[in-house]
Amino acid sequence: MAQKTLISSPGLRTDIAKACTNVSVGGTSTTLVQANKSRCEITIVNDHATQIVYLALNTTDGTTVPTATLNNGIRLNAAGGSWTSDAYLGPVAAIATGASTVTLVTEI
């Protein structure tokens, strides 16, 4: 991960590791990201024009990748539906209503 210098001031973070990836999601559960204890924020965007994506978060031990299922979990509508969290550090899985749906994942 590349390091970025933001601000040089006492008491503030001066570098943040940022990863931006495109992940293809289809009709079976796909891992978008693994657990990351250093995560400050995550944003996931559905980039498909017509298909819906559902996200599943781990609700047990915080590290096991969950299984995403249709019509269950966090719904990302087509054409830019998104989810952002500055508190969730666990893994995220996704499933789409069709094949080859691109999700844009940004992890800071």
What CATH number has the domain bearing residue 75? 2.60.120
Is 78 buried (19+), middle (13-18) or exposed (0-12) by CB count in 10 A? Answer: middle
Quote the number of domains for the chain. 1
**Would you give per-residue pLDDT tens digits along the chain (108 residues)?**
444 444 445 555 556 667 889 999 999 999 999 999 989 999 999 999 999 999 999 988 888 999 999 999 999 999 999 999 999 999 999 999 998 899 999 999
2 in a domain, yes or no?
no
The token pair that represents 43 in the structure block? 């944003």
Query: Long-range CB contacts (< 8 A, 24+ apart) of 58-61?
Result: 58/90, 58/91
Range of the domain at 43: 19-107
39 in a domain, yes or no?
yes
**Given this model, what pLDDT does residue 18 score?**
76
pTM above 0.75, yes or no: yes
Cα 14 to the chain's mean position, in Å? 24
